[in-house]
Amino acid sequence: MSTPGAKDLPSPLARVLDQSGRLDPQWIDVLQSLVDEVRSLRALTKAQQATLDDHEQRITDLEP
């Protein structure tokens, strides 16, 4: 089974593939940037959750 060329695909998908049906290199860079951003946001979220957990523990420790 061969990979369809970009001309055989729906318009949005055709825009990210080259004529041989492979992902266009410029889109690889865009997708890698998005992956990096998601990883950064996940790390930030984990750090924020750790801070929140720490604050909750401090409040619990102060309660009589």
Show pLDDT as tens, one digit a residue, over the chain (64 residues). 455 555 565 667 677 777 788 888 888 888 899 999 999 999 999 999 999 999 999 999 998 8
Tokens of 21: 């049906």
**Residue 17, number of CB atoms within 10 A of its CB:** 19
- The pTM of this model reads 0.57
Distance CA 64, CA 2 (A): 70
Distance CA 44, CA 32 (A): 18
Burial label for 9, CB within 10 Å (0-12, 13-18, 19+), is middle
Query: Quick check: helix, strand or coil at residue 17?
Result: strand
